[in-house]
Amino acid sequence: MSIFYEMDKDFGELLKEKKNFLFIGEAGSGKSEIVLNVAAKLAEQTGAKVQVFDMDQSKPLYRSRDMKDAFAQKGVEINYQLQFLDAPTVVGGVAESLMNKDVYTVLDIGGGHNAARVVGVYAHLLKDDDTVPVYVINPYRPWTKSLKAIDETMSDIVTAARLNRIYILGNPNLGYQTSAEEFMEGLARLDEMLGGIVTVGSFVVRDEIYDEVKNMTDRHLFPIELFLTYSWVDR
């Protein structure tokens, strides 16, 4: 049985069919930005309560929790636990939210296998048919330079999280200035590395270049807005 789940399905369609989403992958793959867009989309299209759990303890910036106040206005509640020095912390309420049929739940997990261990305790709930574990890959990151690197990293993370299936979401980008050509180059690079093992069906694309990119590929595209911006970052 393959670990890869619903790979031919449009990611946007999955958001209409499923209730809970878990985002894992290596550091810097773009998970938190995608999490925010998914949460906003779920709140907009369902009108239901959406809970985000920021479980990333690995970085001080580009965290979904940084948008807590702004997203409250969108009907999204962002939950997190303050960390004291390097002591591990657990965000409360995750299991209850996953089991609540009236709540949409989005889990933002830190990069790498060590961070993925934090969700292992919820493995029995994450295997529910209403839950989609999403593995985000950015082919421009250092640890995705080869099939061997991708396989080792993915295996470590999936094992640590105790998952039995994943949906791969491509996120080829070089930051705020990524062009349509660079996006397509990243898409082709990911296809080449993964070869005949699996075909990634959906890709995240910055909304500014969405119209240009959609005329360059027949893959499913999930346009996102970049919420995590800082005054000192040149866009």
Domain residue ranges in the chain:
11-224
Spatial CA neighbour of 22 closest among 163, 160, 139, 138: 163
Per-residue pLDDT, 41: 97
Strand order through the sheet with 49-55: 76-79, 49-55, 103-109, 20-25, 131-137, 167-170, 202-206, 220-224
From residue 232, alpha-carbon distances to 8, 36, 207 in Å are 39, 21, 22
Instruction: Dump pLDDT digits (tens) for 111-134.
Output: 888 888 888 999 999 998 999 999
Per-residue pLDDT, 85: 47
Per-residue pLDDT, 110: 85
**Would you mind telling me the total number of residues written for the chain in this entry?**
235
Question: CATH assignment of 11-224, given 1.10.3470, 2.70.98, 1.10.10, 3.40.50?
Answer: 3.40.50
Can you tell me the mean pLDDT for 165-185? 95
Per-residue pLDDT, 92: 83
Can you tell me the mean pLDDT for 154-169? 94
Most confident residue range from 84-98, 101-115, 143-157, 179-193 = 179-193
Per-residue pLDDT, 63: 84
Instruction: Dump pLDDT digits (tens) for 74-113.
Output: 999 999 987 544 545 678 899 999 999 999 999 999 888 8
Per-residue pLDDT, 69: 94
Per-residue pLDDT, 59: 61
Instruction: Dump pLDDT digits (tens) for 20-38.
Output: 999 999 988 999 999 999 9
Contact predicate 19/101, CB 8 Å: yes
